[in-house]
Amino acid sequence: MPFPEGRGTLRISPGSQSGFTLIEIALVVFLIGLFSALVIPMVTGIGDDKLATTSRRLAGTIKYLYNESALSGLEYRLVFNLDRQTFGAKRLERDGELLEVDGTGKLQNLKGDVVFSEMNVTGRGSFTRGEVTLEILPVGWIDETIIYLTEDKREMTLRIMPFTGSTEVYEGHREF
């Protein structure tokens, strides 16, 4: 095909066409379908398991407060109200004033039908009612505590580790 004003001709070689082959398109569609089949069931179940969600939220709050105490050099207190089914943190200021914590650690209700069924604090005993306060010290210490959460007939056990502030979460009722 000649160009105007004698600029040459357009030559198309057989291997220079661009685009995707039918095999490449089919492979992409297959991979999208595969990923969708794996991910969608996980996404649709989010938020349904209130017991597991509450356990993870409580474990995260404990670790956060443990780290905040170490970084700020201030003592934190995690207060559980077993009658009202709430938990929240307070910070002991250097002048001795005890302040409510905002953000992570603020007073929270347990979700849905999740309840504290029991708490065991090493050296202090077992609690099923009332208020239980755990001190989180800036030297890196929190009392070893076992928390039993229940929703209907399911139960989860949370074990707070004293030297790391980590919380191990177990399905069912565990004794330690």
Q: What's the CATH code of the domain at 92?
A: 3.55.40.10
Strand, coil or helix: 125: strand
CA-closest candidate to residue 51, choices 96, 95, 117: 117
Q: What is the pLDDT of residue 35?
A: 81
Tens digit of each residue's pLDDT, the chain (176 residues):
555 555 656 565 666 567 788 898 888 888 888 888 877 766 655 546 899 999 999 999 999 999 999 999 999 999 999 999 999 999 999 999 999 999 888 999 998 899 999 999 999 999 999 999 999 999 999 999 999 999 988 999 999 999 999 999 999 999 98
Q: What is the pLDDT of residue 43?
A: 62
Phi/psi of residue 48, nearest 5 degrees = -80, -35
Residue 162 counted as domain residue: yes
Residue 23 counted as domain residue: no
pTM score, two decimals?
Answer: 0.72
Residue 105, number of CB atoms within 10 A of its CB: 21
Residue 72 counted as domain residue: yes
Residue 88 counted as domain residue: yes
Residue 97, number of CB atoms within 10 A of its CB: 9
Query: Which residue segment(s) compose the domain that 89 sits in?
Result: 50-171
Residue 68 counted as domain residue: yes
Residue 128 counted as domain residue: yes
Residue 62 counted as domain residue: yes
Residue 4 counted as domain residue: no
Domain count, the chain: 1
Q: What is the pLDDT of residue 17?
A: 64
Q: What is the pLDDT of residue 107?
A: 94
Q: What is the pLDDT of residue 38?
A: 79
